[in-house]
Structure formats: structure tokens, C-alpha cells
Amino acid sequence: MTVTTGTPIYASPVDHVSYGQYGPGRLHLSAGWTRPVYPFQDRITADGSSGYRAEPGRYHLYAAWVCPYAQRVAIVRKLKGLEEVISLSYVDDERDGRGWAFRQRRGADPVNGFTLLEQVYDATEKGYPGHISVPVLWDRRQGRIVSNNFPDITIDLATQFEEWATTSADLYPEPLRPEINKLNAWLYHDVNTGVSRVARAATGEERADERRRVLSALERLDERLAGQRFLTGDTVTEADVRLWVTLARFDSEYNRDHLISEGDLSGFEHLWGYARDLYQRPAFGETIEALPAEWNTPHGRGR
């Protein structure tokens, strides 16, 4: 069903008194970080062998502006020029115990007309008890979630829609896949989730260890980018998308109150230039709220 007419339906305003906080029973946050199981892990394939054929107009992405994991799929969709092929909508920025919801700020659910993202999960698995997370990839044809596993979604968008991609961006080039996979695993642990582990550390000692891990990763990345424009060479790949969403939130979120580092991102000369370079590209700059003015200063990395 696609809702295109009528009054948009929105969830009632966030209400922690009536609904509590999102989390208990759903989200298990611990001091350490074990990646939860994201139970919908089907794949889209160009030849349809997985049961989900890459086709224009068939799939929809549910994302959140505030979520770095969801921003990755929005970036990849735009880098590949798939805006007319895969639709995208955003849930509201705030949650109460009902989880992600559709409100006026970010618009209604254009596919199902639901008011809560929970309904998208429930339509796929009745009584679904797990994480109501974004991003979610929805199949209009079968009326169900294909995947809520962000690493698979970006790879499938990057590789399976070549027939409809309107740019020549190759974000996951065959010869570089082993290197990208290795980089991504390291980035996920030491950077993407490393920044969150600092905040969640149970003891001062643990926090110091986690902080050191993030800082040493940023130093290694800074050195790497001194000699090349992007993480794997001259062109943007999946690994750059993975890293950038964390860099973009480093000063304002993860390192707020200097929890991780006494300095800002600008203290890492090459990483800072790289981050600003990517910000100038619409796929990156237009899928996040505007960053502070210094992100628009020249970065000297153009060709």
C-alpha cells in the first residue's frame, strides 16, 4: 500500500510521562558494546536470486537524521544517484517508549501511513519484541522488512543497483574489498562504536583505555590521510562513508565536554581536511543538519 493522498498521519508528541523512555526491554546498553542481533538480514540482489531483486520503485528506506548508521545509507543512495530508484523518509529526531515515530518535523510515513516505526516491524513479524532501529529497508512488493542490518544495506545499494545508478561511483571495488572489509571492521570497533564506549565506560580506568583507543585510531587515520586523499586511495569508498559519519559528530556529540580529547577534530590536520572535503559533497553535506561554519573553510584537497 502506498499512501499518497489524504491528511498525513502523525504520532502524538513525545511524552515520557505516559510512555516512558525508549530502551527498557528493547535496547540493551551495557558498558561494553556487543553488537545486538539485527534479525532482518535478507539481501537485495541484481539477479533476484535472494528473493529480493533490485528494481526501481520497489524499496523504501526509513532513516533518522540524528542516526549516523542511517546516514550511511542516505549517503550511499545519493553517491550512487539512486534517489529516484529507492525512496527515503525520516522518522522524528526524538523518541519516547514507543520508539521512533513519524511526526510533523520530518514528515509522515509515505509508504504505509504508519505513525510508529514499530508498526513496520510488527507488519513483518507480529509481536516483534526487539530493537526498533533505523535504518530499515522495506520491500513494497512483499510488504515486509528486507533488512535492518546497516552494513548489508549500504553494500547492496552500492553494488546491486548498477543498472539504475546514475553516477559512476564504485564504492566497493572488487580488488579493494578485502582492504575495505578489514578497515571497516577496525573502524567499527575503534572509531564508530569506540566513541560511544568512552561515554559508557563503567570505571575511570576503562574510560581512559577506551579514550586512548579512539585517539590512537584517529592518529593512525591522520597519518594515512597525509599521503592519500581517501582511505583506500583516490576515490571515495564504503570505508570513507563509515568513517565520515562519526567524524561529523565528533566535536558536537562524542567529544562534547572533551570527554575523549582535549582538542577538537581540527587538531588532526589531515583528518580535518578530509572531513571538510567530504562535507562539500552533497551526498555527505545534505544528509546531515548543517555543521558549524568552520566545516566550510577551504581544505586544500581538491584536484
CB of residue 43 to ligand GSH, shortest distance in Å: 15
CB of 76 to ligand GSH, least distance (A): 15
Question: Are 86 and 76 a contacting pair, CB within 8 Å?
Answer: no
Part of the chain binding ligand GSH (CB under 6 A), chosen from 125-133, 200-208, 219-227, 265-273 = 125-133
Burial of 29 (0-12, 13-18, 19+ CB in 10 A): exposed
- Residue closer to ligand GSH, measured from CB, 70 or 283: 70
- Rg (the chain; Cα; Å): 19
Q: What residues form DSSP beta bridges with 41?
A: 147
Q: Closer to ligand GSH at the Cβ: 27 or 123? A: 27
Q: Does 291 bind ligand GSH (CB under 6 A)?
A: no
Between residues 46 and 123, which has the closer beta carbon with respect to ligand GSH?
Answer: 123
The secondary structure of residue 130, as a DSSP letter, is S
Cα gap 274→300, rounded to integer Å? 9
Residues in binding contact with ligand GSH, number by CB under 6 A: 11
By CB neighbour count within 10 A (0-12 exposed, 13-18 middle, 19+ buried), where does 35 fall?
exposed
Cell readout for 22 is 525508549
| Cβ distance to ligand GSH smaller for residue 151 or 273 | 151
Q: Which of 64, 67, 265, 288 is catalytic?
A: 67
Q: Which stretch binds ligand GSH (CB under 6 A): 13-21, 128-136, 137-145, 273-281?
A: 128-136
Residues 54-93 binding ligand GSH (CB under 6 A) are 67, 69
Q: What separation in angstroms does the CA of 185 have from each of 21, 194, 235, 259?
A: 31, 12, 20, 24
Instruction: Please give the residues from 131 up to 170 whose contact with ligand GSH meets the rule CB under 6 A.
Output: 131-134, 150
The question of whether 67 is a catalytic residue gets the answer: yes
- In angstroms, what is the minimal distance from the CB of 274 to ligand GSH? 23
Distance CA 295, CA 160 (A): 33
**Contact positions toward ligand GSH, by CB under 6 A?**
26-27, 35, 38, 67, 69, 131-134, 150
Q: Which residues are catalytic?
A: 67
